[in-house]
A and B are shown apart, each in its own frame.
Chain A
Amino acid sequence: MMGLDRDRLVELVQVVVRNPLRAFLSALGVGWGLFMIIITVGAARGLENGVKADMGNDVSNSMFAWTMSTSLPYKGYQRGRYVEMDIDDVRWIQANTQHLDLVCPEVQLGGYRGTNNVTRGKQSGAFDVHGAIAEYPQVKPMNITEGRFLNEGDLAGERKVCVIGSRVKDILFEMGEEPLGETVQIQGVIFRVVGVYTPKGNDEDAQNEAESIYIPFSTFSKAFNTRGRVGWLSMLIRDGVDAEEAEEATKQLIKARLSIHPDDPRAIGAWSMAEEFQKAELLFSGMRLISLLFGSLALLAGVIGITNIMLISIKERTKELGIRRSLGATPVRILQQIIGETLFLTLLAGLCGLVLGVGLLEAVDGFIEDGVDAGVFRHPEIDFGTIMTVLCILLGMSIFAGVLPALRALAIKPVEALRSEG
């Protein structure tokens, strides 16, 4: 018989209407609490979306590996040997791996704050010069704005062609000048520009990336006399393969190829995006939990306010409850009534807070969409599951809020109630 028939609904509405100011003030606490939950959870999500959007420039299954010096002696080699990979090792790894889809060798000239190594006429600049292969953009996505990226022909023919970043173009070329077909000198070697790119994203990494130049790996090897030496590998982990497992297997593969002790902890360095994603995911779920927790505590304060106001209300309505008892209301009916009233008030207030909170998030979202710079904050939102969780918390708390007043109401004996004035 907990059904909500019309009279019960009327009774509930009467409770609110009878003392609207009080109902509003007590509801304010709960509404505010729920509002806070929605806002903090939504804001946390906004931050998460922003960070993930920046991370999204990197391919989520990408992995990188490089060689360093060994820390264990193995197969007659002393410890402390500096190991190097060359292009043959890369081909061997590509042929023998079960965990990787793509293995890109990469080698770099110059570097961060290096000397001016690239010139064009009177212009010069210090840029990262990479030797790469045609598949490289699969690991490191970029927007080709003019021309093309390196292709198989460039690599096979060891062509002296290059693809330059947008910042390189800005520095070496005049405004409005067409770079395609023009030449630049990289450490004295002349390369023809076949493409211009802009990196994806706008973080520091991307800024750096815009000051890079890509030339064919084979050409790099010959022009700068590196004899096929590989600086590091950029790889794609095969779909469905666990990142950690792929990383370990790949390290072992490289160690086996380069005669490094299998237990050597230092010789091969590796970094995978998926693991970074997992770490970030952990951080953000922690943030979600904390915002939910603190929001719930704010909500609890509001709910205690409701309990308080219900206790006062019961005190005032002692006579009314006594009359109801004398007219045949069983204790259970009184219990239902008081809990019902508390639920009604709390849920009504909660829904108002919910609607306002979601409304504000939507408004902020719209504001950001309109191009307002919000830094690393993007698309604040709250998903349906979280709303459901919040509503469950609210429901639980409302019942909790109603128990004490209901028990107080039950303790009133009909005769005492009738005797009380007012």
Chain B
Amino acid sequence: MLALRGIEKSYPLAGGSLPVLKGIDLNIVQGEMVAIMGSSGSGKSTLLNVLGLLDGFDSGGYDLDGVDMAGLSEKQAARYRSQFLGFVFQSFNLISFKTALENVALPLFYQKVPRRERQKRAMEMLGKMGMDDRADHLPSELSGGQKQRVAIARALITSPRVILADEPTGALDSTTSSEVMEVLREVNASGITVIIVTHEADIAAQCDRTIRLHDGVIIEDGKSGEVVEPTARGARSQD
């Protein structure tokens, strides 16, 4: 489904450049639930952006569903994002002046789905998230957990093959976090690949596979339970 080969990326800085990804090789197959762990600055968010076609890369190769993503135009990138990918963000990234329903329907708007059908599908999706009674609420009238459910509904509305979640529980308390993780697990159970960027070990533990990133390289990759002493390693690298 997703294949990265030797991805390198650096950000230009005054007087040089800062390498962020230093050769990432990664294969993720359809239906996996993967956690990408790492301390801040390890390159995990950049990796997610590259996977999500939100950002380009300097060298290496990226195949999405068997198609090479190198040198994509903005328009093509937008199309692939719209067809294959759904995003969930730490800060929810709901559009503040649109209701929950409008937010969920927005991706369909960009897919040129007729209005009536957009409304119907968005309402169904909110229903699946248990949020149909909040359809007309603005994001500011929703709790953190509710916002994230709306955001997940929005990510799922286009029936994507992959959900990319950037610290989806980062802004939530532990109870709400586990509710959101439950939702993501259900999403994964329906056959959708879920990739979660997190620095919380217990979130990673709820995934099938954990990839640990440090200084722009993958230092560990294995079944979530088998990745060594996440707490200890995580604590040290945070220093």
B115: chain A residues within 8 A (beta carbon): 5-7
A331 x B78 contact (CB < 8 A) = yes
Neighbouring B residues of A325 by C-beta, 8 Å: 54, 78, 81
Bound-complex Cα distance A414 to B89 (A):
13
Residue pair A328, B74 in contact (C-beta under 8 Å): no
- Chain A residues within an 8 Å CB radius of B87: 326-327
How far in angstroms is the closest Cβ of chain A from B74?
5
**Is A327 touching B54 in the complex (CB atoms < 8 A)?**
no
- Known A-B contacts A14-B97, A326-B81; A331 and B106 likewise in contact (beta carbons under 8 Å): no
Instruction: Report the Cα distance A330→B55, complex, angstroms.
Output: 15
- For B119, give the chain A residue with the smallest CB separation: A7
Report yes or no: B95 in contact with A326, Cβ–Cβ below 8 A.
Answer: no
| Complex Cα gap A332–B112 (Å) | 13
Contacts of B75 in A (CB 8 A): 330-332
Whether A328 contacts B78 in the complex (CB less than 8 A), given A18-B97, A319-B93, comes out as yes
Residue from B74, B83, B110 within 8 A of A327 (CB atoms): B110
**In the complex, chain B residues whose CB is within 8 Å of the CB of A2:** none
**Contact between A330 and B74 (Cβ–Cβ < 8 Å)?**
yes
Contact yes or no, A327 B97, CB < 8 A: no
Chain B residues whose C-beta falls within 8 Å of the C-beta of A18 in the assembled complex: 97
Q: What does the 1/0 interface line of B78-102 toward A look like (CB < 8 Å)?
A: 1101110001010001111110000
- Rounded to whole Å, the gap between the CB of B9 and the closest CB of chain A is 11
Could you give, for residues 303-342 of chain A, a 1 whenever the CB lies within 8 Å of some chain B CB and a 0 otherwise? 0000000000000000110011111111111000000000
Chain A: minimal CB distance from B160 (Å): 10
* Interface membership of A413, Cβ < 8 A: yes
Contact B89 A418 (CB under 8 A): yes
Contact A330–B79 (Cβ < 8 Å)? yes
* Contact, CB under 8 Å: B154 / A327: yes
Interface magnitude class on chain A: 20 to 34
A7-B115, A319-B93, A415-B54 given; A327·B49 CB < 8 A: no
Note all chain B residues with C-beta closer than 8 A to A418.
54, 89, 93
Main secondary structure of the interface of A (DSSP, over half): helix
Q: How many Å lie between the Cα of A414 and that of B74 in the bound state?
A: 10
Q: A5-B115, A325-B78, A415-B55 are in contact. Are A330 and B93 (CB under 8 A)?
A: no
> Is B43 at the interface (CB under 8 A from chain A)?
no
In the assembled complex, B230 has its CB within 8 A of some CB on chain A: no
Task: Select which of B81, B94, B95, B118 is within 8 A of A328 by beta carbon.
Answer: B81
Which of A7, A14, A320, A326 makes the CB contact (< 8 A) with B109? A7
Task: Determine whether A1 belongs to the interface, using a CB cutoff of 8 Å to chain B.
Answer: yes
Select B110's contact among A6, A320, A324, beta carbons within 8 Å: A324
In the complex, which of the residues B74, B79, B83 has the most CB atoms of chain A within 10 Å of its own CB atom?
Answer: B74
Q: A421 to chain B: closest CB distance in Å?
A: 9
Q: Which of A319, A320, A326, A330 contacts B52 (CB 8 A)?
A: A326
A413 to B118, CA, bound (A): 27
Q: Is A323 a contact of B93 with CB atoms below 8 Å?
A: yes
- Complex: A330 Cα to B98 Cα, angstroms: 20
Query: Are B106 and A324 interface neighbours, CB within 8 A?
Result: yes
The answer on a CB contact under 8 Å between A329 and B78 is: yes
Beta-carbon contact of B82 and A327 below 8 Å: yes
* Chain A residues closer than 8 Å to B118, beta-carbon distance: 7
Chain B residues near A413: list those with CB within 8 A.
Answer: 54-55
- A323 & B55 in contact (Cβ 8 Å cutoff): no
- B111 beta carbon closer than 8 Å to chain A: yes
B38 at the binding interface (Cβ < 8 Å): no
- Between A14, A320, A327, A331, the greatest number of chain B beta carbons within 10 A of the residue's beta carbon is seen for A327
- Could you say which residues of chain A place their CB within 8 Å of the CB of B106? 324, 327
Q: Which residue of A lies closest to B107 (CB)?
A: A327
Q: How far is the CA of A331 from the CA of B110 in the complex (A)?
A: 11
Which residues of chain A come closer than 8 Å to B54, judged between CB atoms? 325-326, 413-415, 418
Question: CA–CA, A332 to B74, complex, Å?
Answer: 10
- Interchain Cβ contacts under 8 Å between A and B, 29 examples: A5-B115, A6-B115, A14-B98, A18-B97, A320-B96, A323-B94, A323-B95, A324-B95, A324-B106, A325-B81, A326-B87, A326-B93, A327-B106, A327-B107, A327-B110, A327-B154, A328-B79, A329-B78, A330-B79, A331-B75, A331-B78, A413-B54, A413-B55, A414-B55, A415-B49, A415-B54, A415-B55, A418-B54, A418-B89
Residues on B close to A: CB < 8 A?
49, 52, 54-55, 74-75, 78-79, 81-83, 87, 89, 93-98, 106-107, 109-112, 115, 118, 154, 158
Q: Which 6 A-B pairs have the closest CB atoms?
A: A328-B82, A415-B55, A330-B78, A328-B110, A415-B54, A327-B107
**Given A326-B93, A327-B154, 9 further pairs, Cβ under 8 A:** A5-B115, A14-B97, A326-B54, A328-B78, A328-B107, A328-B110, A328-B158, A414-B54, A415-B55
